[in-house]
Structure 1
Amino acid sequence: MPRKGMRSIFFRPSSSPSSSTSSQPPPSPLRTFSDSLMEQNIQIAEALVTKWDDSKLGTPLFSGTRQEARKYLDAVKGLQSAMQYFVAQDSTSATLVRAQFLMQLAMKTLQREFYQILSSNRDHLDPETVSARSSIDLRSSVSEYVSDYDDEITASEDDFRISETERVSMLAMEDLKAIADCMISSGYGKECVSVYILMRKSIVDEALYHLGVEKLSLARVQKLDWEVLELKIKKWLNAVKVAVGTLFHGERILADHVFSSNPEKRISESCFAEITKDGAVSLFGFPEMVAKCKKSPEKMFRTLDLYEAISDRWTRIESIFSFESTSAIRLQAITSMVKLGEAVRTMLTDFETAIQKDSSKTTVPGGGVHPLTRYVMNYLTFLADYSGVLVDIIPDLPQSPLPESYYRSPMRDENPPASELSEKIAWLILVVLCKLDGKAEFYKSVELSYLFLANNMQYVVSKVRRSNLGFLLGEEWLAKHESKVTEYASKYERVGWSKVFASLPENPAAEVKVEQARTHFMKFDAAFHETCRKQSSWVVSDPKLRDEIKGSIGSKLMQKYSEFYEKNRVGSKSVRFILPEDIGKNLSNILCGNGDLDSVSSHSSSTTSSSHRSSRR
């Protein structure tokens, strides 16, 4: 078009060059193509903004198809561009005032829509659904499966399918992001953020409440009975699993996605911090309060459960709460771990002290396994199941002086933390074995003392071999202590059956006089039956060890007595004596704890002994 033609469109010529300026209105300002374009943006925005003003329509803008919503957002962007343009031209123009009024209406509508989407999609925007997909997957999925305006979700090239819940969740998140982008870019980010925080914080707080997370004071926790506190710990263990794995993780993904247009993540950071801070601090503060309660060995394993729950999730906690504004949450989690570790070390020290201070002089009937042995080994067996976290706690625990050749782990140089734990376990077992050595002296008979030691050492070895203690202590430790069992059993056999073996001649195959033979038969019969009667009240708890001991005694007795019997039985027919084949039958009754207990315990009171004998009658 000729330049002259262009001018005829944008300029109006004066009616008469000679007309007086005083009698005519001032000429209209110069109107450019940009002016017309910006005014057109305002007109488009005005039509949509007034249409969807809440005083005119009650239907949500983002319901049904998104065509109208997309047009609305595009119109707001155009309106913003017009406002920026006219501010530069004339900040007091009526057109700018009109545009500002329309922008306020538009932001009011979008704020209402933002609230409506958050409110109506509580179930579809639950953290579990959101956390099931990473933010990267979410962005790619939405752009790939949601067509421009018709909200249709189709199969991808690999025939990927998503559930209806995921579809609605993805659409809601995209709508929220679109509104947030528009409001923030228009200078109304504060209004958008306030609605988001209000809605999502209520969801997080409600979820934590249903998980049993309470805002407790230290004074209240310290007053709780252990049974009540233990129930709260169990609830907490489940709560932290859900909170870290789903709740906080989902909220972080949602906030990062909705406010992803902010490259520095300041908005998503402030929203996420405000939404989760109170609940997360309460959640991770509970273990610290437990750690500050009165300590006792029976609280050890729940304390380790708390430590392990945080330790196992620390990487995810650090990732979720990576913002500077959430550093207080990370600090609280670390503080709880530190305090729990201190509590564990204190309880281990108290446990060791309790073993060393045990002054009970009561003996176990029949030389069986002492309650102290059972308690300590069961305790250590459970403790070994927490070796993964104990290796982080034990290195700071002062180690008592030990005979290094006894406890030092062969793997110390290869894996120092694990070996320190192994050495601590070995030391605690050594402490209890030393106590058992002292308790063995309380028995009247030396042979029963050895049987007591064999029983308890076997119990220790069995517990170690059948649990994670075996992995910690190793085969060398096991072999050394198994040899101790054999040594104690051999001493019991030698002392306990010495009278029976001594009743036979040194050389059983040699011929002796008839009177001498009769004397040997009589002494053997008396000694054998007396020993069997006495040891029928003794006990060997481990079936394998019991069979080995009986087998060893039987084979030696059978060999020696059979030789003597075969050589001398003819001249001793008038004497009643035991047959060789009856030795095994009589031995079957020993070490089962079913016989007379009169001579077992040197520290049982006469009243107790009488009562026990009466009950047997």
Structure 2
Amino acid sequence: MEHNNSDGSDTQHSSINEADPKPDDAAENEDEKKEEAAVLPPASLEHVSEDIDQFLVTMHKRNDGSNTENVEIPGYVEKYMDIVEEKILKYDVGEGKPKWGEVAEEDLWLLTTADRISKLMALLNDDPEKEVSDVRRSLVNRVNLVHQRTMSYLEEDFRFLIEESRIPSELDPGGNSNDNYQNTFDYKGKQEVKDEEIQHDANFPGYSEDAIASLRKIARAMLSGGYESECCQVYIISRRNAFEEILQKLGLERISIDEMVQKVQWETLARDMIPAWVNTLKQCMAVYFPGERKLAEEIFAENSSVAEGLFSSLTRGLVIQLLNFAEGAAMTKRAGEKLFKLLDMYESLWDVIPKVDGLFLEDSAEELKTEMDLAKTRLGEAAIFIFCDLENQIKSETARTAVPGGAVHPLTRYIMNYLTIAGDYKDTLEQVFWENSERGDSSRRQQQQKKKEHDGGGGGSEKEAASPFAVQAMKVMDLLDASLEGKARLYKEVALRNFFLMNNGRYILQKIKGSKEMSEVMGNTWCRKKSSEIRNYHKSYQRETWNRVLACLNQEGLSVNGKVHKPVLKERFKSFNSLIDEIHKTQSTWVVKDEQLQSELRVSISSMVIPAYRSFVGRFAQIFDPGRQTEKYIKYQAEDIETYIDELFDGKPHQSIGRRRT
């Protein structure tokens, strides 16, 4: 028998098609192998590897359906196992295996070795249920052990690369708003964040092209070697940890529904957690999920089903966490200050649901959209309940003490500030009310009819007329008007009643006009009607207050036969002075915070009183004797009256002109 002293390839070509040696020849063959081993030099790893690769190629080309268990395994397979095990032993007892990237030759050796042994495994384990010789079984076990060891090294390298080579996220969380609507609703405008304005994390997912290429090679080797589960587990754990880091930086805490409902204060949710949730949802759909999909597709480029499965597993878990948060927020105790934060969440879900189709496969996308729609519906139901509860807040406000000075009532401020903010959410509220129209009113026809009645049969489009939100807003305004009329009756003075209604009506109208959205909701007809009401209150106030003053300056009844009746004139001046003092003392404590209305009132009063007073004094002053008599009855100059009028309605008492002069 002839031998090739370098790699034993002649043995390969002469033995591939031979059957297993007969049992009687086993001892003789064993002796021959020992003699060959004693004569041949140590096998070269390079040569033995080439022999095995050729053997595997030849076996692949045969592909004739014959049973591979009848094929004799060349002796250089054992030699190859010896060399590989020796190198592995050096890893274990020496300084350990180099980390991936430290020695390029070692990385390449490990990949090619793993690939070669995986192919041997597939050949040797062609049909594991069939009986094989003890020698073959021993070889199979040995190859299995070496295969497991090489795969464990690859698993370590995969873990090292995916965890240690990632550039940490340096995102700016952003999106956190300190708006607090609970008490005063000091609101400076709704902050809308569009996708193009979202702060993109330039580092995400945080791997260089070289790192991704290495991860792809390792993943390919592990999956082809039957270690898909181990590879995917490392990937899932690492990427989940990466997302946990991202969520922490975005300010989103992991919290259960029960904790949200029972333990967390709403102020904490509104100030920190809900803005963080909104920001996280938008960031995930616009930045992180697309980036995560691309990463999975690049690393598992040769197995799209694995990439899709990993992406779905990672992202679905996060989506469910976000939806649980939304469910918890919707389940918290419902109160007025919560409406707008819930609408922020509703809007966010509304915006991102259409993007699901582009990120997930059809089945997963439909399932996620269904769950997101359900969470959105829960938020919408809570919003409807809260908004409609404004009715109860107005009805339950039964103050028995009048607001000092006829000022704008706190209820008026609360409701109008609330509606102003609601105007910023007009489109969303209309959508929510349409989706839950049975909660907004009992009948859509009733809604349309009520809106048309307020608009005088027109003044709005059919869409506006049919809006359940507009109808509900009208209902709130009607209830507020009725409540204010009841509160006006708490004032004993008729003038102050009208002043109070004028003051509050003006505040209501200015708030509506100041909101483009609420102006559209209420309509031009409503605004004209409200303006007319305010003018009537203004006229009634002037009639009750200043007509009495003007009556004192009326020239009728002062002359008898062309001669001024001095006692009557004296009484007129005395009455005028007394009324001016009384009005100044009283109405300087009345309150008009609206500077424009305050100025309009003062100008309108001055335009009535000052010219009439100048004319009256100019005509009758000479009737009195100069000196003390004139000073006694003509106490004020026109300029003094102007000063008095300019001191009205600022909510604080002023000294009389006489006291100032002393």
TM range (shorter): 0.7 to 0.9
Partner of 2:261: 221
Cα deviation 1:293-326 (Å, max 9, x = unaligned) = 3222233233333333433433445644556457
- Write the distance in 2 (CA, Å) between the matches of 1:96 and 1:382: 78
Within-5 A mapping of 1:498-517: 498-505=547-554, 513-515=564-566, 516-517=568-569
Change beyond 3 A, Cα 1:102–1:499:
same
- Cα distance change of structure 1 residues 89 and 393 upon mapping to structure 2, 3 Å threshold: closer
CA contact (8 A) 2:610 2:641 kept: yes
Give 1:373 shift.
Answer: 0.4
Q: Is 1:359 the equivalent of 2:398?
A: yes
Deviation at 1:336, TM superposition (A): 2.1
Per-residue deviation at 1:327? 6.3
List per-residue Cα deviations over 1:78-117 (Å, max 9, x = no partner).
Answer: 6666777888999969899968965763564245334333
Q: Tell me how far apart the structure 2 counterparts of residues 283 and 277 of structure 1 sit (CA, whole Å).
A: 10
Is the contact between residue 221 and residue 229 of structure 1 (CA under 8 Å) also seen in structure 2?
no
Alignment partner of 2:648 out of 585, 590, 598 = 590
Q: Structure 1: give runs of 5+ residues left out of the alignment.
A: 1-6, 13-21, 131-162, 597-617
Counting only pairs closer than 5 Å after superposition, residues 100-119 of structure 1 correspond to structure 2 as: 102=143, 105-106=146-147, 108-119=149-160
CA distance in 1, matches of 2:310, 2:465: 44
Q: Distance in 1 between matches of 2:518 and 2:453?
A: 19
Aligned position for 1:441: 489
**Match in the other structure for 2:294:** 253
Tell me by how many angstroms 1:370 deviates.
0.7
Say if 1:279 and 1:35 are closer, same or farther in 2 by CA, change over 3 A: closer
Contact persistence 2:161–2:215 (CA under 8 A): no
Distance apart, 1:512 and its partner CA: 5.7
Contact kept? 1:503, 1:520, Cα under 8 Å: yes
Q: Is the 8 A contact 1:197 1:275 kept in 2?
A: yes
Q: TM-score, normalised by structure 2?
A: 0.68
Q: Is the 8 A contact 2:558 2:564 kept in 1?
A: no
- For the 8 Å contact 1:536–1:592, the answer to whether it is kept is yes
Distance 2:606 2:322 in 1: 65
- 2:579 maps to a residue whose letter is A
- 2-structure distance, mates of 1:205, 1:80: 35
CA distance in 2, matches of 1:471, 1:111: 69
**TM-superposed deviation, 1:394:** 2.0
Question: Following the alignment from structure 2 to structure 1, what is the Cα–Cα distance between the partners of residues 100 and 535?
Answer: 82
Q: 1:117 to 1:48 in 2, by over 3 A?
A: farther
For 1:429 and 1:222, locate their aligned partners in 2 and report how far apart those are by CA, in whole Å. Answer: 34
C-alpha spacing 1:97/1:194, structure 2 compared with 1 (3 Å): farther
Aligned partners of 2:588 and 2:648 also within 8 Å: yes
| Match status 1:302 vs 2:341 | yes
Residues 584 and 431 of structure 1: CA distance in aligned 2, closer, same or farther (over 3 Å):
same
Distance in 1, Cα, partners of 2:377 & 2:652: 52
Aligned to 1:603: none
Question: Secondary structure of 1:313's partner?
Answer: helix
For 1:4, the equivalent position in structure 2 comes to none
2:101 to 59, 63, 80: 63
Does 1:555 pair with 2:607? yes
- Which residue of the partner structure matches residue 477 of structure 2? 429
Q: Contact between 1:297 and 1:351, CA under 8 Å: does it hold in 2? A: yes
Give the direction of change, closer, same or farther, for the CA distance of 1:249–1:582 in structure 2 (3 Å limit): same
- Partners of 1:337 and 1:206 in 2: how far apart? 27
In the alignment, the residues of structure 1 paired with residue 363 and residue 108 of structure 2 have an alpha-carbon distance, to the nearest angstrom, of 35
Q: CA 1:35 to 1:235, structure 2 compared with 1: closer, same or farther past 3 Å? A: closer
- The alignment's C-alpha RMSD in Å is 4.5
Describe the shift of the 1:209–1:523 C-alpha distance in structure 2 as closer, same or farther (beyond 3 A).
closer
Distance 1:209 1:357, change over 3 A: same
CA distance in 1, matches of 2:141, 2:519: 74
1:532–1:44 CA distance, 2 compared to 1 (3 A) = farther
Q: Of the candidates 245, 270, 292, which is equivalent to residue 309 of structure 2?
A: 270
Q: In structure 2, do the counterparts of structure 1 residues 290 and 44 end up closer, same or farther at CA, with 3 Å as the change threshold?
A: farther
Change beyond 3 A, Cα 1:520–1:431: same
SS of equivalent residue, structure 1 residue 497: helix
Cα distance in 2 for partners of 1:449, 1:536 equals 16
Conserved? CA contact 2:588–2:651, under 8 Å: yes
Q: 1:89 to 1:232 in 2, by over 3 A?
A: closer
Counterpart contact for 2:169–2:246, Cα < 8 Å: no
Counterpart CA distance in 2 for 1:195 and 1:580 is: 91
* Partner residue of 2:533 out of 484, 498, 503: 484
Q: Is the 8 A contact 1:111 1:195 kept in 2?
A: no
| Distance of 1:553 and 1:310 partners within structure 2 | 55
Moved more, 172-181 or 110-119: 110-119
For residue 537 of structure 1, what is the amino acid of its counterpart? T
Hey, what's the Cα distance between the residues in 2 that align with 1:474 and 1:44? 90
State the number of aligned residues: 541
Say whether residues 1:379 and 2:418 are aligned partners. yes
Task: Please tell me whether residue 526 in structure 1 is matched to residue 578 in structure 2.
Answer: yes
Report the AA paired with residue 602 of structure 2. Answer: K
State the shift of 1:361 in Å: 2.8
1:614 counterpart residue number: none
Aligned partner of residue 163 in structure 2, secondary structure: coil
Deviation at 1:61, TM superposition (A): 6.8
Indicate conservation of the 8 Å contact 1:260/1:268, yes or no: yes
CA distance in 1, matches of 2:203, 2:638: 84
Q: Distance in 1 between matches of 2:289 and 2:496?
A: 62
Q: For residues 346-396 of structure 1, what are the alpha-carbon distances to aligned partners after superposition, in whole Å with 9 as ceiling and x for unaligned?
A: 111222222123222321111111111011112222333333432321222
After TM superposition, list the pairs within 5 Å mapping 1:392-403 onto structure 2. 392-395=431-434, 396=436, 397-399=439-441, 402=450
1:567: which partner in 2? 619
Q: Secondary structure at the match of 1:527?
A: helix
TM-score in terms of structure 1 length: 0.73
Change (3 A) 1:404 1:507: farther
Q: Distance in 2 between matches of 1:262 and 1:63?
A: 24
Tell me how far 1:47 sits from its aligned partner.
Answer: 9.6
Q: After superposition, give the CA deviation of every residue in 1:424-479 in whole Å (9 maximum; x if it has no partner).
A: 33432232122112221221122111111111012112323334554544772545
Distance 1:55 1:488, change over 3 A: farther
In the TM superposition, what is the alpha-carbon distance from 1:37 to its structure 2 partner?
A: 5.1
The one-letter amino acid of 1:464's match is I
Distance across 2 between alignment mates of 1:54 and 1:507: 126
Q: 1:201 aligns with which of 240, 249, 274?
A: 240
Distance 1:492 1:89, change over 3 A: closer
> Partner amino acid for 2:156?
Y
The 10-residue stretch of structure 1 (584-593 or 109-118) with the greater mean CA deviation from structure 2: 109-118
Distance 1:323 1:275 in 2: 17
Displacement of 1:568 after TM fit?
2.3
| Equivalent in the alignment of 1:134 | none
Which residue number corresponds to residue 511 of structure 2?
463
Deviation at 1:526, TM superposition (A): 2.9
Q: How does 1:59-458 map to 2 (within 5 A)?
A: 59-60=97-98, 62-64=100-102, 66=104, 69-70=107-108, 73=111, 102=143, 105-106=146-147, 108-122=149-163, 124-125=165-166, 128=169, 169-205=208-244, 208=247, 211-218=251-258, 221-222=261-262, 224-227=264-267, 230=270, 232-233=273-274, 236-237=277-278, 239-240=280-281, 244=285, 248-263=289-304, 265=305, 267-316=306-355, 319-320=358-359, 322=361, 324=363, 330-395=369-434, 396=436, 397-399=439-441, 402=450, 404-406=452-454, 410-413=459-462, 419-458=467-506
1:155 maps to none
CA distance, structure 2, for counterparts of residue 36 and residue 595 of structure 1: 106
Find the residue that maps to 1:372 and give its secondary structure.
Answer: helix
Relative to structure 1, is the Cα distance of residues 42 and 558 closer, same or farther in structure 2, using a 3 angstrom cutoff? farther
**Structure 1 residue 537 displacement after superposition:** 2.4
Identity of aligned residues (%): 25
**Matches of 1:169 and 1:473 in 2, distance apart?**
54
Q: Do the aligned partners of residues 61 and 289 (structure 1) sit closer, same or farther apart at CA in structure 2, a change above 3 Å counting?
A: closer
